[in-house]
Amino acid sequence: MSTKTTNLLTDMKMPFCPGCGYHLSTRVLARAIEKAGIHPLDVVVVSDIGCCGLIDGLLRAHTVHGLHGRAAALAFGIAHGLADASKKVIAIQGDGGATIGLQHLLEAARRNVDMTLLVHNNMVYGMTGGQVSGLSPEPVKDRKMPDEKDIPPFDVVELARAAGAAYSGRIIERGDYTDVLVEAIQTPGFSLLEIVGPCPAHGIGKIKDIAGMALQDVTYRSDREPHVAPRRETHSLFSQLRSVKVDFQANLQGRFSLIVAGSAGEGVQSAADLLANAGVASGLHATKKGDYPVTVGTGFSIAEVILSSEEIHHTGIEQPDMAIIVSEDGLSMMKNRLTDTRILLDAALSWPDAPGSVASLPFRKTAGGKGAALCAIAHWLRQENLLPVEALQQAAAQHKLADRFLGIIEKAKTLAGS
Ligand code: SF4
Ligand SMILES: [Mg+2]
């Protein structure tokens, strides 16, 4: 083969070691795509970590470079998501990546997803120093890791076949195998081609040695129909955004930051959302961030809200202008965080050496554990009028729990100073 066989290949110098099998693999891949009649813009090449991952940068095509062992999974997702059946997805993995992501490969074969997976088996992890992989045959292990030589390698071709691939095959890289690859690419459904080649940098250098390693060319075909995922209508998250009309007037110049600290499952995040919405409805910029354990229904729940008359470019809060603390979980999280700030503390909590000024009020007693955060926010707004409490009421009225939230805001009126 000439070194430049197709328009799909860029003019970049190939980055592989002298004698590496990827020189040939790259040229064969480009030629096979061309020979299969696929326009460069109709192919998506998905690559893995490792020396084989350098191939995609040499191609003038859509390419996606994924995590180690995940090329099959990425390609699977892309193939399922493509609405146009004329597009072709080709994934490239090494023997290391195929070992790491074996389950992804089997799943794609089991579902007979319409894609092609090329497993470049040079029998070692080339990029990381020549360690053996799950596809390394016994003679390679004998040389490199004798302790492992009794552990048989995976036969990735047989595995793909057993899982249900429409095509699975192996080719030893003795010369031009473009036609073999064209058949794999043109097979409807999942096709896997194991390409066995050299990695001279780590002592896998001679094809005749490789050919003596009990690896042989094979081809299995089945007439299974490819699985076509049912198409589902999905919507962009942006399509669910609603615009907020500015109906109120805020009394804020500059930026005000608030932390609401309570317990998971007690409405802390919803209360902070309502405040942020009320801020926007009052002509302010607003951000809100939530922090809670992955268990969601237990432990602390912290919400950070920034309201500002200027655009907000940094959403972090070092020390808030005010903290509202409505439960023991919230208090324990704030004790090491606050250094000097105003604190609205639920009356059932005690913090004798609190930094800054503390006002204590019975938010939980007034509105229950699940209403305490919103009750405290409503009380604070009535006291300070940073923005009208009516803006908070309007935000609550638009929520699916409108009745409950409006009732809590009303109850806050009974607190001293409201
Ligand atoms: S380390 Fe091995 S696989 Fe990687 S470029 Fe060099 S010869 Fe090729
Ligand atoms: Mg390898």
pLDDT, tens digit (0-9, with 9 covering 90-100), for 384-404: 999 999 999 999 999 999 999
Could you tell me what percent of the chain has a pLDDT over 70?
98
Q: Of residues 146 and 231, which shows the higher confidence score?
A: 146
What gap in Å lies between CA 259 and CA 310, rounded to an integer? Answer: 19
Q: Of the given ranges (10-19, 154-163, 278-287), which has the lowest mean pLDDT? A: 10-19
Whether residues 208 and 258 share a domain: the answer is no
CATH number for 78: 3.40.50.970
Closest ligand, as measured to the CA of 15: 1
Domain presence at residue 361: yes
Whether residues 175 and 270 share a domain: the answer is no
pLDDT, tens digit (0-9, with 9 covering 90-100), for 219-274: 999 999 998 888 877 788 888 777 889 999 999 999 999 999 999 999 999 999 99
Whether residues 302 and 382 share a domain: the answer is yes
Last residue of a domain, one of 191, 221, 251: 221
Domain presence at residue 286: yes
Domain presence at residue 31: yes
Tokens, residue 248: 């109120």
The residue to which tokens 């005749």 are assigned: 208
CATH number for 265: 3.40.920.10
* Percent of the chain as helix, strand, coil, to the nearest 5: 35, 20, 45
pLDDT, position 204: 86
**Beta partners for 89?**
44
Angle value at C-alpha 192, between 190 and 196, nearest 5 degrees: 175
Ligand 1: nearest atom to the Cα of 16: 5
Domain presence at residue 17: no
Whether residues 271 and 204 share a domain: the answer is no
pLDDT, position 418: 66
Task: Indicate the number of domains in the chain.
Answer: 2
pLDDT, tens digit (0-9, with 9 covering 90-100), for 333-345: 999 999 999 999 9
Whether residues 179 and 244 share a domain: the answer is no
pLDDT, tens digit (0-9, with 9 covering 90-100), for 36-84: 999 999 999 999 999 999 999 999 999 999 999 999 999 999 998 887 7
Of 13, 14, 16, the residue with max ligand 1 atoms within 8 A of its CB, to mutate for a pocket test, comes to: 16
Mean pLDDT across the chain, nearest whole number? Answer: 93
Residues with CB under 5 A from ligand 2 (ion): 94-95, 122, 126
pLDDT, position 3: 46
Whether residues 121 and 249 share a domain: the answer is no
State the pLDDT confidence band at 149, using cuts at 50, 70 and 90.
Answer: confident
Last residue of a domain, one of 192, 221, 250: 221
pLDDT, tens digit (0-9, with 9 covering 90-100), for 184-226: 999 999 999 999 999 999 988 887 777 777 789 999 999 999 9
Domain presence at residue 6: no
Whether residues 65 and 119 share a domain: the answer is yes
Whether residues 260 and 165 share a domain: the answer is no
What spacing in Å lies between the alpha carbon of 202 and ligand 1's midpoint?
A: 8
Tokens, residue 2: 């000439």
Take atom 6 of ligand 1 and give the residue whose Cα is closest. Answer: 17
Whether residues 179 and 49 share a domain: the answer is yes
Range of the domain at 116: 22-221
Burial class (CB in 10 A: 0-12, 13-18, 19+), 188: middle
Average pLDDT over residues 132-155: 92
Domain presence at residue 231: no
Given a cut of 50, whether residue 2 has pLDDT beyond it is no
Of 125, 127, 195, 210, the residue with max ligand 1 atoms within 8 A of its CB, to mutate for a pocket test, comes to: 127
Residues 120-146 as b or e (16 or more Cβ within 10 Å = b): bbbbbbbbeebebbebbbeebbeebee
Average pLDDT over residues 145-159: 94
Closest ligand, as measured to the CA of 123: 2
Domain presence at residue 11: no
Ligand 1: nearest atom to the Cα of 122: 3
Given a cut of 80, whether residue 115 has pLDDT beyond it is yes
Which 3 state secondary structure label does DSSP give 312? coil
Instruction: Let me know: does 91 contact 71? Beta carbons within 8 Å.
Output: yes
Closest ligand, as measured to the CA of 51: 1
pLDDT, position 6: 62
What spacing in Å lies between the alpha carbon of 21 and ligand 1's midpoint?
A: 8
Whether residues 293 and 146 share a domain: the answer is no
Whether residues 405 and 338 share a domain: the answer is yes
Ligand 1: lining residues by beta carbon, under 6 Å: 16-17, 20, 22, 51, 122, 126-127, 199-202
Domain presence at residue 8: no
Take atom 8 of ligand 1 and give the residue whose Cα is closest. Answer: 20
Residues in contact with 247: Cβ distance below 8 Å, sequence separation at least 6, in sequence order: 281, 391, 394
Whether residues 91 and 217 share a domain: the answer is yes
Of 128, 199, 206, the residue with max ligand 1 atoms within 8 A of its CB, to mutate for a pocket test, comes to: 199
What spacing in Å lies between the alpha carbon of 52 and ligand 2's midpoint?
A: 8
